């Protein structure tokens, strides 16, 4: 699995660089173009999930003790797992769905369409599963009844939110502002000030010094992250490509690499200050993190629910509101339980997505003469 993943990452990054240089002036436009801020907000909140909020404090402990990570500091590692280079996956798929898919229509081929939607549903459920697993670390003494009930309620709310694209975009922009407010609140409560934040953030620089190490899996845990990014990449590109408003290829790549990485870097830097100084995050801010995490889960789920229901023509208009919401809730909550009580893993979904990448590359090569981008 490691060899397959390594080859896929190498090819993906090279392809992204070629597209952003050779065809740098090609404009990417979706059918529902929005402002750059709204586009980034939709991308950020749809392409990330509760792990962004909940993982860092746990991960810092791991990175500080494992010898495989000794080449750099925990903040640089966490940033490398979530920021900058890995967003090239989203650039590649967004470019494809804006420019090439309208000509190739590969995702209208029944077999590819079916596999793609299985991936979307499976990854969608994995988001809910991660939320279920990490809740006890943020809410001490939480009962299983409340934990499963909260996850069920979140999925229900996401299914309802997905019924109209307006709800998805409003929630995406609102949750982006809430995330910024969370960063500000946790920062202010630590009394670290701008100097403390700057000193903490300076540790991210070591990521760029060691960026070559993040291309291939460092450990099994890093491999899990990379498969996770692959699992998300096609469906996120398929969804957010609808909202691109004419960015050139090179502008799209830079926007995806840099803009989402800024709030990610600031958030991780704030939490790293807590970790490196032995500070505890107060119960109030832990609850706030849970609240924002819930919204991120809803954002991720409603975007993906809307995507696969549109792909399969299982829309509100066809099914009716109650059947639509109930059906999606049953499928997703059932799959969350499947992740919980079976050996099902996100790496399997990532392998399927890599197979889809290989299929796309094959057809693009076969039809390269009719795909002139100049």
Residues 6 or more apart whose CB falls under 8 angstroms from that of 112 comprise 106, 356, 359
Q: What percent of the chain has pLDDT over 70?
A: 96
b/e sequence 354-369, b meaning 16+ C-beta within 10 Å: bebbeebeeebeeeee
User: For position 252, what pLDDT does the model report?
Assistant: 93
CA-to-CA separations, 1 to 10, 86, 153, 211, 217, in angstroms, rounded: 14, 18, 35, 22, 11
Instruction: Say if residue 372's pLDDT is above 70.
Output: no
Tens digits of residue pLDDT in 170-208: 777 888 889 999 999 999 999 999 999 999 999 999 999
* CA–CA dist 198, 187 (Å, integer): 12
The pLDDT of residue 374 is 54
Give, for 177, the enclosing helix (H) or strand (E): helix 165-190
Mean pLDDT of 131-140: 77
From 10-19, 46-55, 121-130, the region with the lowest mean pLDDT: 46-55
Amino acid 49: pLDDT: 67
Residue 343 has pLDDT above 70, yes or no: no
The whole-angstrom separation of Cα 278 and Cα 99 is 49
What single DSSP character describes residue 76? H
Question: What percent of the chain stands above pLDDT 90?
Answer: 42
The CATH code of domain 2-370 reads 1.20.1740
List, for residues 4-13, the tens digit of each pLDDT value. 999 999 999 9
* 168 or 309, higher pLDDT: 309
Cα-flanking dihedrals φ and ψ of residue 25, to 5°? -95, 0
Q: Where are the domains of the chain?
A: 2-370
The single-letter DSSP state of residue 143 is -
């Amino acid at each position: 699995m490691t060899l397959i993943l390594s080859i896929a990452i190498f090819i993906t990054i090279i392809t992204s660089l070629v597209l952003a240089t050779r065809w740098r002036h090609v404009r990417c436009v979706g059918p529902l173009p929005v402002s750059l801020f709204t586009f980034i907000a939709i991308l950020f909140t749809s392409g990330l999930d509760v792990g962004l909020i909940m993982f860092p404090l746990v991960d810092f402990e791991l990175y500080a003790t494992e010898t495989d990570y000794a080449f750099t500091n925990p903040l640089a590692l966490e940033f490398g797992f979530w920021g900058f280079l890995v967003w090239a996956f989203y650039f590649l798929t967004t470019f494809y769905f804006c420019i090439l898919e309208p000509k190739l229509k590969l995702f209208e081929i029944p077999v590819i369409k079916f596999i793609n939607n299985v991936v979307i549903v499976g990854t969608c459920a994995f988001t809910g599963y991660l939320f279920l697993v990490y809740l006890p670390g943020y809410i001490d003494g939480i009962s299983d009844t409340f934990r499963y009930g909260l996850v069920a309620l979140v999925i229900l709310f996401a299914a309802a939110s997905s019924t109209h694209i307006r709800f998805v975009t409003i929630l995406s922009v609102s949750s982006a502002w809430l995330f910024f407010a969370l960063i500000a609140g946790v920062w202010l409560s630590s009394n670290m000030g701008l100097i403390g934040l700057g000193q903490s953030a300076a540790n991210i620089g070591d990521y760029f010094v060691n960026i070559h190490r993040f291309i291939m899996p460092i450990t099994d845990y890093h491999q899990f992250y990379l498969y996770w990014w692959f699992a998300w990449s096609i469906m996120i590109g398929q969804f957010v490509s609808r909202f691109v408003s004419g960015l050139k290829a090179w502008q799209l790549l830079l926007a995806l690499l840099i803009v989402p990485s800024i709030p990610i870097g600031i958030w991780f830097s704030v939490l790293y200050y807590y970790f490196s100084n032995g500070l505890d995050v107060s119960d109030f801010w832990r609850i706030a993190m849970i609240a924002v995490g819930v919204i991120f889960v809803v954002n991720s789920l409603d975007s993906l629910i809307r995507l696969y229901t549109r792909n399969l023509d299982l829309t509100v208009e066809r099914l009716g509101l109650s059947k639509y919401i109930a059906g999606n809730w049953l499928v997703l909550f059932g799959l969350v339980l499947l992740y919980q009580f079976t050996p099902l893993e996100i790496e399997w979904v990532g392998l399927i997505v890599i197979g889809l990448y290989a299929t796309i590359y094959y057809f693009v090569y076969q039809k390269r003469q009719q795909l002139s981008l100049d």
